[in-house]
Amino acid sequence: MRRLVPIFVAAAAVVGAILFSTNFIHDPRAGVAVPAGAPLPLAQEPDPDDPPELDPAAPPMALAPPGGAIVQQGLVRIPKPKIDLTGTRRVGIQVGHFQTDDVPKEYGTRIITQTGASWGGYNEVDINQDIADRVAKLLRAQGVEVDVLPTTVPVGYLADAFIALHADSDGVGELSGFKMAHSSRRGPFEDSLMTTIKDTYQRETGLDYDAQHVSRQMLGYYAMNWSRYQHATSPFTPSVILEMGFVSNDGDLTLMVDHPDRVAIAIANGILKFLDATPRSKIFGADLLIPQAPIRQGQAPSPTTPP
C-alpha cells in the first residue's frame, strides 16, 4: 500500500426522430450510436440556474459525452475509455473560481462573475490556489500525476479522481464546517471517493461535516455535469466538490490560512486512500450503463364544459 502523507424528460418519439434525422448509425443488435454533443433520452442533470419546474414536454437536453454513447433498449451505454489500465494514476485538482474570465461559451456568461467569497482581507480563490498547490505537491511525491485546473475543465477530462476545491461564506460568520457533494448518473465509485475524503478530512482537520447546507449549486456543479457540458469530467472520472470550510468563520479561516498544510495533508490522504482501494481496472474496466428516463407525457389539456 502506498504510504500516506502527514427535469425533465422527453418522449421517446422525439429522441427517435432526432436520431433518425441526424443520420446516426443504427445497428439493431448494438443500438443507436450517438456522437458527442448529440441529445440522449435521459433527464438532464440539474443546473442551479434552471427553474425548479421544467416543461416535461420539452425536447431532450442531456447530451452525449466526448466519445459518444449508444442508445439501446431501455439503456444508454457509455463505452469505456481507451486508457492504459496499468498506467500512472492521475488526479485533477480544480482551483475554484480561478480564471473565470476565460471560459468556453457553453458555460454561459454567469460564471464570469462568480469570483468567489472574500472575508477579512482574504479571497477564497487565493486560499483554493494555495491548498491545491500543496495537495498537488504531496500527491506528486507519491508518484501520482496531477493536473491543477482552473475554472475551465478540459473536454471529457479523464482521471482516476477529480476534486474541486472551494471555501464558502455565510456572510455573517456564524456557520462552520466543511461540505461535499457529487452528481448523479456517473460511475459507481463516486460515493467511495466522497466518503473516503470526507472521513479523512473530518478526522485530520477536526472540522464538523455540514450536511445541512449542501447546496443545489454543489449537487449540480458544472464541472461534473457531463450530460450538459462537453467541458466537464468524463462520466468515468470519480468527481467531487469540497467546500473546505467557511472563510467567514474565524476558526475555519484560521485553519485554511494559518495551517494550510494540515488541510492539504487531509485531502491528499483521502485521495491516496481511495486510489489504493480502487484500482484503475475497476474505474475504467467496463461500460457505463444508464437507465433511460421513463416516458412522461406533457401537461394534460384542461377539461372543457360541453355546450
Whether 45 and 137 share a structural domain: no
* More confident site: 117 or 105: 105
How far apart CA 176 and CA 35 sit, in angstroms, is: 45
pLDDT for 10 equals 37
Instruction: Answer yes or no: do 123 and 144 share one domain.
Output: yes
What share of the chain has pLDDT > 90, as a percent?
A: 65
Instruction: Identify whether 5 is part of a domain.
Output: no
Domain count, the chain: 2
* Cα 262 to Cα 200: distance, rounded to the nearest angstrom: 12
Average pLDDT of the chain?
Answer: 85
**Is residue 194's pLDDT more than 80?**
yes
The model's confidence at residue 27, banded by pLDDT at 50, 70 and 90, is very low
Amino acid 248: pLDDT: 96
Residue 42 lies in a domain: yes
Distance CA 282, CA 288 (A): 12
pLDDT tens digit string along 121-160?
999 999 999 999 999 999 999 999 999 999 999 999 999 9
In a domain, 6, yes or no: no
**Whether 50 and 197 share a structural domain:** no
Residues 117 and 24 in one domain: no
What average pLDDT does range 269-273 have in this prediction?
98
- Is residue 16 pLDDT above 90, yes or no? no
- pLDDT tens for 46-85 read 666 655 555 555 555 689 999 999 999 989 999 999 999 9
Residue 181 lies in a domain: yes
pLDDT of residue 264: 98
Residues 263 and 194 in one domain: yes
Residue 271 and residue 229 share a domain: yes
pLDDT at 1: 54
Q: Give per-residue burial for 169-207: e unless 16+ CB within 10 Å, then b.
A: beeebebbbbbbbbbebbbebbebbbebbbebbbebbeb
Q: How far apart are CA 185 and CA 168, in angstroms?
A: 26
- How far apart (Å, rounded) are the C-alpha atoms in residues 75 and 78? 10
- Structural domain includes residue 7: no
Domain span including residue 201:
90-283
pLDDT tens string 158-185? 999 999 999 999 999 899 999 999 988 7
Compute the average pLDDT of residues 282-291. Answer: 94
C-alpha cell of 275?
Answer: 486510489
Note the pTM of the prediction, 2 decimals: 0.85
* Same domain for 163 and 76: no
Is residue 49 domain-shared with residue 185, that is, in the same domain? no
Is there a single domain that holds both residue 247 and residue 134?
Answer: yes
For cell 491548498, name the residue: 131
d(CA 165, CA 240): 9
Q: Identify the pLDDT of residue 72.
A: 94
Would 151 be classed as within a structural domain?
yes
